[in-house]
Amino acid sequence: MNAVIELLNSHRSIRKFTDQPIPQDTLNTLIQAGQAAATSSFIQACTVIQVNDQDKRNQLVECSGGQAYISQAPVFLVFCADMQRLKLACDMNDADINSGFTEQFITATVDVGLFAQNVTVAAESLGLGICYIGGIRNQIARVSELLDLPELVYPVFGLCLGHPDQNPEVKPRLPVDVVLKQDSYNDNGNQETIADYDKSVREYYQTRTGGNKEMTWSEQMSGMLVKEARPHMLAFLKEKGFLLK
């Protein structure tokens, strides 16, 4: 196993950071690493907003359901899927953009995910820690207004970034044979393998919380997936010009 694979396998979410700042030049380098990620048809549909204003940070804490590390991390970034810049490219060439296609939403969102993961890996290679914040979608319209996002731009997630002030264990992932299939989708044996994996997750939570949390992966997922999942998202995305076709 080489150093890159070891780095990838050692990923943890960090929610407590030291006060040590991150130089802007370092952050710029991380963003350049993000830009080096694969991009569908060269669309480069990711825009990153660095939120420095403390009042905006505090409001984003509220939008995310009280995740205080948004306001405390040395750097907080919001990654946005951006088709507005593609509209500008069309305008510059006297072409009318044919927007609103679901495929455009998918490719722009995938671009953001690839970009952000490159930023994450680059940051962790420097000894920094990160935490993705999907909770900004709890109040996505308010976040969009707070960041002055135009039509054809939506915030996909946030990212806390800083020097770690904690050392949590690596959370166990599903076994490879559950997620890697050969030639076709075959779930034979998945239930038994997941049952064994559940034991590992339960032990992880017991250790992490000092015995205050006992939950398996399947219990956590079943508890989450019987509830509504941000039902406001579809109307918001359509209002922004996505998922119209």
Note the pLDDT of residue 63. Answer: 97
Per-residue confidence band for 199, with pLDDT thresholds at 50, 70 and 90: very high
Instruction: Give the CATH superfamily of 3-168+228-239.
Output: NADH Oxidase (3.40.109.10)
CA distances from 167 to 4, 163, 170, 209, 230 (A): 20, 11, 9, 13, 31
- In whole numbers, what is the pLDDT of the chain averaged over residues? 96
How far is the C-alpha of 89 from the C-alpha of 74, rounded, in Å? 34
User: Which residues lie across from 130 on neighbouring strands?
Assistant: 13, 161
Helix ranges, 167-214 (H): 176-179, 190-208
pLDDT tens digits, 158-198 = 999 999 999 999 999 999 999 999 999 988 889 999 999 99
pLDDT in tens, 45-101: 999 999 999 999 999 999 999 999 999 999 999 999 999 999 999 999 999 999 999
Whether the Cβ atoms of residue 70 and residue 61 lie closer than 8 Å to each other: yes
Nearest-angstrom CA–CA distance, 62 and 56: 10
Residue 212 pLDDT grade (very low, low, confident, very high; cuts 50, 70, 90): confident
Q: How many residues does the chain have?
A: 245
User: Where along the chain do its domains lie?
Assistant: 3-168+228-239, 176-214
pLDDT at 211 over 90: no
**The pLDDT of residue 207:** 84
